[in-house]
Chains A and B, each alone.
Chain A
Amino acid sequence: MRCRKCGAPAVINLRHHKLALCAEDFQTWFVDQTQRSIRKYEMFTHDDRILVAVSGGKDSLALWDVLLRLGYQADGLYIDLGIDGGLRYSEQSKAKALAFAGQHDQVRLMVVDIPGRYGESVPDVARRRRQQQRPCAICGLIKRHEMNRIALAEGYQVLATGHNLDDEVAVLFGNVLHWQVGYLQRQGPVLPADGEGLAQKVKPFCRFYERETAAYTLIRGLDYIYEECPFSLGATSLKHKETLTQLEHEAPGTKLHFYLSFLKAKRQGLLCPSEASAEMLHPCQVCGQPTIAPALCAFCRLWQS
């Protein structure tokens, strides 16, 4: 198989785009496509300060790398969740994030140590709150709160995460299966800020298949944590991914089409947000972040015994 751009031997064949590329042209394509998504969905400009949520995994490190190559002012935020799982997961993933930051002058990596700051690791909080099975709901709550807190305190207008097409499509599939209208209204490449002064959240990789972000990290030689968070094993989103991949295998482009058609339907007025939601928000009495709860937000309630 030959590269469609230059005729050299191809290293990857993107069946859904009918496009085979060599390593050099794949990188160029990948960086250009990221820039296109940033413009198309009006995510940010070169004047904005961007905070990248870095987990040490392939997607977030690739995202940070591409944003820096495109000349954006992008700093990193690593949230240490205190997860061990027999493989020192948090420690190892933090090391990957720090190593990447160490190779770049003038970038900043902020580290939030959850057990150090709040006295308990994520699995510990989950255990105390009797969410034995999987701490993911609490983990997500903590990550969202801390990203908002740091972005606000440090003056970042935009929070960027490394979610790829496969992630987005798995979530979309789950939301459609259960007709979670509220979630569907909010799903997309750009999530407006939850409240005044907070950063808007963007997903510049939302049109890339997972395989494409993995290929980019391999070709660029980015060192990421290969192991998954031990709590992700058996997650519903992984099962959805398997089902969707089977469909993709039989009809290349299925996932991309599913996602882009959803975005188009939204633009055409499907799933318009109801008016009530924004008015019900008010600041949490402890941290000041917007909440619909009467006094304390869900995050602050976590730490009340």
Chain B
Amino acid sequence: MNVTFRQKQWTFDSPLTVSQLLKKLRLLPETVLVVRNGQLVTEDQHLQPGDDVRIVAVVSGG
């Protein structure tokens, strides 16, 4: 699966849950939303090799 976050890209070959993905990338679930193939998903969801995953940061500054 292809994963994008803040102009960075990763590819993962084995299936993993959203929660595992966030741990791998050292992201706290409170700071992001995960969109799989255009749909918002919860942390228990399983991501499959063909999925297109976009991580959206939710923290705004200023």
Contacts and interface: CB of A to CB of B under 8 A. Distances in A.
- Do these two chains interact? yes
Interface of A: 1, 10-13, 20, 23, 57-59, 136, 166-167, 209-211, 213-215, 218-219, 228-229, 231-233, 235, 237-238, 241, 245-246, 248-249
Given A211-B30, A211-B33, A218-B35, A228 B62 contact: yes
Interface of B: 28-33, 35, 39-45, 56, 58-62
Contact of B59 (A13, A215, A241): A241
Contacts of B45: 1
A237 B40 contact: no
Of B29, B41, B42, chain A has the most CB atoms within 10 Å of the CB of B42
A235 B43 contact: no
B44 A1 contact: yes
Given A211-B33, A218-B33, A248-B30, A11 B41 contact: yes
Contacts of A12: 33, 40, 42
Given A13-B43, A210-B60, 7 more contacts: A1-B42, A11-B39, A211-B31, A214-B58, A235-B61, A238-B59, A241-B61
A10 B42 contact: yes
Contacts of B62: 136, 228-229, 231-232, 235, 237
A248 B43 CA distance: 17
B28 A210 contact: no
A209 B59 CA distance: 10
A20 B60 CA distance: 24
A218 B61 contact: no
